[in-house]
């Protein structure tokens, strides 16, 4: 069973949170509510999120301050943030949003289809990164254990494990390629395109490491690509 991604919804108005849940429920992911910046930061201490939808105007800690705290934490600084704000704000607010680390800035009232489409891109990128980390973990087990028992369930011969890793990686590569084509076709946000390109580079590095493990293709243990 594929684990669902978590999406953090931050707004001090319950009716706005309810509206966001109605719009995003079709994505069939886990939606987590936070009614303040402080509550959002608390949720981020324990859970990993694919994307954060963050209201700008909130009493106490507003969206800009909340985003600044998120970007200062090593654990959360790479989580995409989509700011939601009232339509009557000028370009200064928009600039502040991007300066605070937002990947997008959407004015209210927003088009539900557009918001759902934007969030779905970041959810899909997050899922691909999770799959990539799983492949890298299996590769590390092979490199460190020398082909002994692994956490995938039973003792495997090195060649069998390599074949399984290669097949799993091929599936992720195919999905990442399709996602990149989709982003190109839809003229997606620059941040989403850049994230997809970064994912493809990591996939390429992992494929090279696997190829180097194949008999007759290299010597010694290759380095596992960084997950940064």
Environment class of 190 (CB within 10 Å of its CB; exposed 0-12, middle 13-18, buried 19+): exposed
Tokens describing residue 25: 């429920």
Q: What is the DSSP pairing of strand 51-55 with strand 6-10?
A: parallel
Per-residue pLDDT of the chain (228 residues; tens, 9 = 90+): 458 999 999 999 999 999 999 999 999 999 999 999 999 999 999 999 999 999 988 999 999 999 999 999 998 988 999 998 875 566 666 666 667 777 788 888 888 999 999 999 899 888 888 888 787 777 777 766 654 444 444 444 556 666 767 777 777 777 777 777 766 655 556 666 667 776 777 777 777 776 766 655 444 444 444 444
CA dist., res. 130 & res. 52, Å (int): 17
21: closest CA among 116, 117, 154, 126?
116
For the chain, the structural domain boundaries read 6-110, 117-213
CA dist., res. 64 & res. 61, Å (int): 8
CATH number of 6-110: 3.40.50.2300
Contact status, residue 23 vs residue 118, Cβ threshold 8 Å: no
The DSSP 8-state label assigned to residue 146 in this structure reads: T
Contact status, residue 206 vs residue 132, Cβ threshold 8 Å: yes
Q: CB 227: neighbour CB atoms within 10 A?
A: 10
Q: What angle do CA 192, 197, 198 make, to 5 degrees?
A: 95
203: closest CA among 222, 225, 218?
225
The DSSP 8-state label assigned to residue 61 in this structure reads: S
CA 152 to chain centre: 24
The reply to whether the predicted model has a pTM over 0.85 is no
What are the residues whose beta carbons fall under 8 Å from the beta carbon of 207, sequence distance 6 or more?
Answer: 169, 173
Q: Which residues pair with 83 in a beta bridge?
A: 54, 105
């Amino acid at each position: 069973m594929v684990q669902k991604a978590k999406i953090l919804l931050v707004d001090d108005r319950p009716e706005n949170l309810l509206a966001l849940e109605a719009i995003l429920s079709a994505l069939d992911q886990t939606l987590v509510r936070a009614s303040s910046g402080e509550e959002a930061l608390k949720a981020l201490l324990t859970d990993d999120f694919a994307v954060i939808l963050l209201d700008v105007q909130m009493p106490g800690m507003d969206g800009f301050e909340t985003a600044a705290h998120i970007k200062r934490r090593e654990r959360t600084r790479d989580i995409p943030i989509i700011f939601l704000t009232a339509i009557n704000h000028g370009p200064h607010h928009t600039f502040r949003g991007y300066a605070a680390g937002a990947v997008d800035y959407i004015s209210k009232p927003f088009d539900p289809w557009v918001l759902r489409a934007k969030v779905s891109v970041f959810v899909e990128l997050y899922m691909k990164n999770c799959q990539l980390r799983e492949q890298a973990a299996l590769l590390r087990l092979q490199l460190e254990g020398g082909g002994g028992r692994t956490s995938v369930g039973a003792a495997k011969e090195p060649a069998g494990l390599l074949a399984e890793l290669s097949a799993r990686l091929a599936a992720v590569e195919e999905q990442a390629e399709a996602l990149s084509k989709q982003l190109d076709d839809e003229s997606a946000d620059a941040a989403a395109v850049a994230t997809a390109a970064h994912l493809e580079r990591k996939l390429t590095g992992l494929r090279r490491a696997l190829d180097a493990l194949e008999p007759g293709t290299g010597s010694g243990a290759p380095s596992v690509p960084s997950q940064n």
